[in-house]
Chains A and B, each alone.
Chain A
Amino acid sequence: MTTAYVADTGVFVRCGGPDKDTFQRLRRALRQAGVSLRIPQRVYEELGGDPAADEYPSGNIPYPDGFEEGWIVVADKLDYANPLVSTVMDDTRRYIANETDRDEDHIEKADTALVGLAAQLLDTGEASSVVLLTTDKPAGNAAETLLPQHGFSDRIEFRYVSVEYLETVTADTF
């Protein structure tokens, strides 16, 4: 039984700058538990994609340390040829459009990538269950609503990464 932990951009922003102990707390908890956070390619691009964000204390995220130490890994590319992955991502696009009262055309692959990755991990058997760590409530709710419809009941969990979550995270959390 393997649980995969998929993390979104908001997790790392929530850690704050390098002087915040939440980052160290998360790092310690993951290393003690021997768990790596998997991040979709999109999240990797978001974390490093905006030099202007370095001006913000919370934009100065020491996530490269996580790659070096092995507790953050970039997940495999999404396999759009996998019918389950593409179906779940289409369903997610409709779900998020509805939740956010936006046109479906306005919802992009980046919005659905987290749920797509969860579907891929479950479908390929790489993980028997998936925990989504995110601040993206529409995507988290989409995962918990849609994946059970594809036979993955009780195998997906959305954890909203609040300040309190990071302040109390320990190895037992994983």
Chain B
Amino acid sequence: MTVANIVDELDIPQGTAYDYIQKLEAAGLVEKTRNQRPSEYDAESLSLTLSTDGETQTITPALIAAVARRDENDDIDIYIERHGLDGLAVALEYAEEYVDGTVNHRIAARELDLSPLEAEIILQALEPVATEYADAAV
């Protein structure tokens, strides 16, 4: 991805995009993959672990992608309102199993204490993210 791609995608000024890229590169979150102009950058695989009050939550790229969908997917938005980001993170793990065929919405509903209908709604909403990140999962 080039800086021009980012400018197009996010609709931000070019100077701001360069600024972000430099900060992300300095932090080791993106890597320059082409030195000739225009430079190209690749995102490094990201995993953040947050610990608060003894609770640990790993923020994976798939979870970030799932949360990013709440603007365009009202089912995800409402699920986050009802169950929080922690709830979404757990539902995403079930969505990965759902894609693999190792769980169904009824089992997920019982284990997550949801109605079968709500479980199926969130599993289907997260299915594209789980599918996209299935190969990247470690």
Contact = CB atoms under 8 A, between A and B. Distances in A.
Interface of A: 9-10, 13-14, 46-47, 49-50, 52-53, 55-59, 96, 99-102, 106-108, 110-111, 135-139, 141
A58 B105 CA distance: 15
Interface of A, secondary structure class, is: helix
Interface string B32-76: 000000000000000000000000000000000000000000110
B101 interface: yes
A135 B117 contact: no
Nearest to A9: B120
A53 B106 CA distance: 15
Interface string B90-118: 00000001100111111100100001111
A53 B75 contact: no
Nearest to A139: B104
27 contacts: A46-B115, A46-B116, A49-B115, A50-B115, A50-B118, A52-B82, A52-B115, A52-B118, A53-B118, A53-B121, A55-B78, A56-B78, A58-B75, A58-B124, A58-B125, A59-B117, A59-B121, A99-B102, A100-B97, A100-B107, A106-B110, A107-B107, A110-B106, A135-B98, A136-B104, A138-B102, A139-B104
A135 B120 CA distance: 9
A56 B75 contact: yes
A68 B75 CA distance: 27
